[in-house]
Amino acid sequence: MSRADLAREIGLTKVTVSAVVAELIDEGIIIDIGPDDRPGVPGKRPTLLTLCEDHRRIVAVDLTREGRLSGAVMTLTGESMDRRRLETLLCLGPEGVDELTNFCQELIAASATPVLGVGVATPGLVSPDNNTVRAPKRGWSDLPLEGILTERLNLPVAVGNDANCAALGEFAFGATEGSYVLSILVGDGVGAGLVVDGSIVPGPKGGAGEVAHVTATVNGDGAPWGTPTTCVCGRSGCLGTLLSEPELREALKGLDEAASEAWLRAVGQRLGAILAPIVAVLDLSDIVLAGPTDLLDGPLLEAAHDSLRERVWPSMNPIPRLAMSAIEDRAPLVGAGVLVLSRTLGIP
């Protein structure tokens, strides 16, 4: 891009853009790669600029899976340069924070260039007010993770809910088409994340996207499951008792192909029914499913799509794109990186 392009894009004047660009060139963040010689419109040839990807790196960590720390050193454009994994059973309570700190420090040390900041995608509730984390499964209640890590690492730290980060990752580097993106993350449980115009919608207390305990069944609705499983919440029919990796694998155990497909279709159909009101209220442009491809990508996804099309009328606006994640299990990780970008550089 040239300075003039930037000015048009951002809406600032050429003068202002030139001044800012000069500053960024001084700092080494932007590089002047000379005039664009391709003939086209009349006028002086623009001088092209490019982002120096090696100027700063981002460290991102994903805590989605229980017993695993997943991390990466990324460029400013979301490319993972160095991915690491740590299988551990200790990541609970205060010890978990220590372990996380060490893991971050390792990644920071592994970065070839200075680190812009550290992004963390964690399960549980992240309060939008004070950024404390409430994750019962991790033994964290109102843990000021951002503050602790900022102090220990001496770097800007951004903490976000994993499903929200996933949505952000899909929006920024996935195959999404629009600006209203819902991401459904299927792992040990189910979580959803919503991104509108590039910003996470956290909910008033950080509880948005907690869809595991929405009732997905209707009494006697003719699904292959007989009596629905009782959920940890004490009720039955929760989405989480149907749609999660362990639950699905358990349910499909011993079923033949036809029965498996019927089961998956039934789950997909219920997912679609839950998505329908959300699609209508938000006019979503994209819904992205992330999780085990062998389970989700097939009858389940198709049934969800069919169910959605049956239950929402595309009169004013088309049905959203509903597809598997193009960046798969990297979504929360990449999204945590984007969170750092938006916090430190104000993007967007």
Partner DNA sequence: TCTAATAGTTAGTACACCATACTATCAGTC
Partner DNA sequence: GACTGATAGTATGGTGTACTAACTATTAGA
The site for DNA (CB under 7 A) is made up of 2-5, 11-16, 18-22, 35, 39-47
Asked if 262 is part of the footprint of its own copies (rule: CB under 8 A), the reply reads no
Task: Kindly list the strands in the beta sheet with 133-135, ordered across the sheet, starting from the edge strand earlier in the chain.
Answer: 125-126, 133-135, 140-143
Name which of 5 and 99 has its Cβ closer to DNA.
5
Q: Is 49 in the site for its own copies (CB under 8 A)?
A: no
Residues 125-144 that bind its own copies (CB under 8 A): 125, 134
State how far the Cα of 166 lies from the Cα of 336, in Å rounded to an integer. 8
Find which of its own copies, DNA, none residue 192 binds, CB within 5 to 8 Å per kind.
its own copies
By CB under 8 A, tell whether 170 contacts its own copies: no
Q: Is there a contact between 74 and 56 (Cβ–Cβ < 8 Å)?
A: no
The binder of 31, among DNA, its own copies, none, by C-beta within 5 to 8 A per type, is none
From DNA, its own copies, none, interface partner of 209 (C-beta below 5 to 8 A by class): its own copies
Q: How far is CA 315 from its chain centroid?
A: 30
Single out the residue of 58, 172, 278, 322 in contact with its own copies (rule: CB under 8 A).
Answer: 278
Interior angle at CA 58, CA 52 and CA 61, nearest 5:
160
Shortest distance, position 114 Cβ to DNA, whole Å: 20
Can you tell me the distance from the alpha carbon of 10 to that of 342, in angstroms, rounded to the nearest whole number?
16
Q: Which does 18 bind (CB under 5 to 8 A by kind): its own copies, DNA, none?
A: DNA
Residue 20 binding result from DNA, its own copies, none, given CB thresholds of 5 to 8 Å by partner type: DNA
* 226 touches, from DNA, its own copies, none (C-beta below 5 to 8 Å by class): none
Residue 198: C-alpha distances to residues 4, 169, 181, 194 (Å): 24, 10, 9, 10
Coil, strand, or helix at residue 35? strand
| 254 contributes a contact to its own copies by CB under 8 A | no
Indicate the residue among 70 and 164 with the shorter CB distance to its own copies: 164
Counting contacts by CB under 8 A, is residue 188 touching its own copies?
A: no
Strand partners, 59: 73, 118
CB of 49 to DNA, least distance (A): 8
Residues with Cβ within 8 Å of residue 63, at least 6 apart in sequence: 69, 70, 91, 100, 120, 121, 122, 123, 138, 162
Q: Please, which residue, 149 or 194, has the CB nearer to its own copies?
A: 194
Q: Report how far residue 151's alpha carbon sits from residue 129's, in angstroms, rounded to the nearest whole number.
A: 19
Which residue type occupies 203?
A: G
CA end-to-end span of the chain: 18
Q: Does 312 bind its own copies (CB under 8 A)?
A: yes
Site of interaction with its own copies (CB under 8 A): 125, 134, 178-180, 182, 192, 194, 196, 201, 203-211, 213-215, 218-219, 221, 233, 235, 238, 273-278, 280-283, 285, 310-313, 315-317
